[in-house]
Amino acid sequence: MLSPEGVLEKNMKVLVVDDFSTMRRIIKNLLRDLGFTNISEADDGNTALPMLKAGDFDFVVTDWNMPVMQGIDLLKAIRADEKLSHIPVLMVTAEAKKDQIVMAAQAGVNGYIVKPFTAATLSAKLDKIFQRLG
């Protein structure tokens, strides 16, 4: 994912998961602005998981609150599957309770952004995630 110089490989395959299409569109646009061109979408944890299992994804951005399978459960499923457990997961969500943030961290989330958020925050968190993975 990181080139030898440590620069983010922008053609990595990203999956954006959120039950609101407007939010998916916003995140997709922001990612495109940051240079990501290979972006797929899913509207729920339960539609995202099969896509991940089928697919060679390098990164997941997910909401928490979704009708069928919530983001926290998607995260746990990703971490539990040995083929998927390496994929970094960034949560972008309106859920702001401290208990939830801790829950996500303990479940292995790589970053947690609360809504409303700015493009700068998204960019900073992405940098941080991929720097850490080094």
Partner 1 sequence: MSKDTSIHVSIEQAKLLVKYLEADQQNKADELIAEIQSPIQTALFEEIGKLTRELHNSLNNFHVDSRLNDLATADIPDAKERLNFVIDRTEEAANKTMDVVESIFPVVSNIQQQINNVNPLWHKLMHNELDVAEFKVLCRDIDVLLTTTEKETSKIHGLMTDVLMAQDFQDLTGQIIRKVIDLVCEVEDSLINMLTAFGITSKQERSNYLPKLGENLVEGPIVNLGNRKDVVSDQHDVDDLLSSLGF
Q: Is 101 in the site for partner 1 (CB under 8 A)?
A: yes
Contact 74, 17 (CB under 8 A): yes
CA atoms of 82 and 93, how far apart (whole Å): 26
Among 34, 51, 114, 129, binds partner 1 (CB under 8 A): 114
- Give bridge partners of residue 2 from the DSSP assignment: 8
Site for partner 1 in 29-68 (CB under 8 A): 29, 64-65
Smallest separation, CB 35 to partner 1 (Å)? 15
Residue that the structure tokens 């943030």 belong to:
101
Q: Is 18 in the site for partner 1 (CB under 8 A)?
A: no
CA atoms of 16 and 91, how far apart (whole Å): 10
Residue that the structure tokens 């990181």 belong to:
2
Q: Is 95 in the site for partner 1 (CB under 8 A)?
A: yes
CA atoms of 53 and 30, how far apart (whole Å): 25
Smallest separation, CB 56 to partner 1 (Å)? 27
Interface residue list for partner 1 (CB under 8 A): 20-22, 25-26, 29, 64-65, 70, 72-73, 94-103, 105, 112-115, 117, 121
